[in-house]
Structure 1
Amino acid sequence: MKMHAKVMNVQHATYSFGAGVFFRLIIVLAFLLYAAGLTAKTPGSKTPGVFRAAVVKIDITPNSPKMLLGYQARQSTGVHDRIYHRIIALDDGVNQFFLVSSDICVISPSEYDHVAGLLQQQLGINPQNFWWSLTHTHSAPEVGVPGLPAVFMGERYKHPVDTAYTREVEEKLINGIIEARKNLAAAKLGVGWGFSQANINRRAIDENGKASLGMNPDGEVDRRIGLMRIDKADGTPLVLISNYPIHGTVLGGTNLDISADVPGLVSEYIEEKTGVPLLFINGAAGNLAPIYSTYPNIRSSHLGEFRVLLGDKILAANKLITTTTGTVKLNTGSLMVETPRRAGLGWPEDMGKYSRTSKTGDNTILLPIRFLKINEDIAIWSAPVELFCEISNAVRESSPFPFTFYFGYTNGWLGYLPSEDQFKYGGYEVETVCPFTPSVQKDLTEAVVGYLHGEMRSMATK
Structure 2
Amino acid sequence: MSELCQVAFSQVDITPDFQVELIGCYRKDNRSQGVLHPLYAQILLFQKSGETFCLVAIDSLGLTKALADDLRTRVANHLNTVISHVMLNFSHTHSAPAPSSFALNGELYFNYLCEQILKCVDDAKTNYSPCKAGWAVADTWIGENRREGCTVVDNRLGALKLVDSKSGRPIAVVLRITAHANILMSDNCRISSDYFSIAREKLRSYFSCPVILIQGAAGNVKPVGVHKIFGGKISDLERIADILVDSAKGLEFKLDNIEDIRMFSREINYISDVPSETEAQRIAQEALNTCGIDGANWLGECERLRKAGINTQTLQGELQFFKLNNGCFCGVPEEIFAEIAIEVQEKVNDPLVFFNGYTNGCTGYLPHMEEWEKGGFETLYSYLTYYPFHGHVMPFRKNTAEYLVKLVIDNWRDITAI
TM-score in terms of structure 2 length: 0.83
The Cα shift of 1:219 comes to 1.8
Task: Determine the C-alpha separation between the residues in 2 that align with 1:414 and 1:385.
Answer: 5
Distance 1:297 1:394, change over 3 A: closer
State the partner residue of 1:457: 416
Task: Determine the C-alpha separation between the residues in 1 that align with 2:269 and 2:322.
Answer: 21
Aligned 8 A contact 1:337 1:443 in 2: no
State the partner residue of 1:437: 397
Task: Determine the C-alpha separation between the residues in 2 that align with 1:396 and 1:404.
Answer: 6
Question: Which runs of structure 2 are paired with 1:56-455 in the superposition (5 Å)?
Answer: 56-72=10-26, 74-145=30-101, 157=102, 159-205=103-149, 218-233=150-165, 234-293=167-226, 301-314=235-248, 316-318=249-251, 320-321=252-253, 323-344=254-275, 362-375=312-325, 377-399=326-348, 401=350, 403-432=352-381, 433=383, 435-454=395-414
The Cα shift of 1:297 comes to 9.0
Paired letter, 2:136: G
String of CA shifts for 1:153-175, please: whole Å, max 9, x gaps. xxxx5x44522222111011111
Paired letter, 1:384: P
The Cα shift of 1:416 comes to 0.5
The Cα shift of 1:417 comes to 0.3
Task: Determine the C-alpha separation between the residues in 1 that align with 2:370 and 2:134.
Answer: 37
String of CA shifts for 1:385-433, please: whole Å, max 9, x gaps. 0000101111111126551112320111121000100122211011123
Aligned 8 A contact 1:342 1:436 in 2: yes
Paired letter, 1:173: I
State the partner residue of 1:43: none
Paired letter, 1:197: W
Gap runs ≥5 in structure 2: 281-297, 299-308, 384-393
Distance 1:192 1:365, change over 3 A: same
The Cα shift of 1:296 comes to 6.7
Task: Determine the C-alpha separation between the residues in 2 that align with 1:92 and 1:407.
Answer: 25
Task: Determine the C-alpha separation between the residues in 2 that align with 1:300 and 1:175.
Answer: 32
String of CA shifts for 1:185-237, please: whole Å, max 9, x gaps. 111101100111110000024xxxxxxxxxxxx52111110000001122121
- The answer to which of 268-277 and 54-63 deviates more is 268-277
Aligned 8 A contact 1:194 1:224 in 2: yes
The Cα shift of 1:339 comes to 3.5
Task: Determine the C-alpha separation between the residues in 2 that align with 1:363 and 1:168.
Answer: 32
Distance 1:220 1:368, change over 3 A: same
Gap runs ≥5 in structure 1: 1-46, 146-156, 206-217, 349-358
Aligned 8 A contact 1:48 1:94 in 2: no
Task: Determine the C-alpha separation between the residues in 1 that align with 2:236 and 2:9.
Answer: 30
Aligned 8 A contact 1:57 1:277 in 2: no
Aligned 8 A contact 1:414 1:435 in 2: no
Aligned 8 A contact 1:390 1:419 in 2: yes
Task: Determine the C-alpha separation between the residues in 1 that align with 2:121 and 2:354.
Answer: 23
Paired letter, 1:237: P
Task: Determine the C-alpha separation between the residues in 2 that align with 1:254 and 1:333.
Answer: 41
The Cα shift of 1:247 comes to 0.2
Task: Determine the C-alpha separation between the residues in 2 that align with 1:373 and 1:192.
Answer: 14
Q: CA RMSD in A?
A: 2.5
Q: Secondary structure at the match of 1:90?
A: strand
Aligned 8 A contact 1:251 1:293 in 2: no
Q: Secondary structure at the match of 1:311?
A: helix
The Cα shift of 1:342 comes to 2.8
TM-score in terms of structure 1 length: 0.75
Distance 1:77 1:90, change over 3 A: same
- The answer to which of 410-419 and 445-454 deviates more is 445-454
Task: Determine the C-alpha separation between the residues in 2 that align with 1:431 and 1:91.
Answer: 42
The Cα shift of 1:120 comes to 3.4
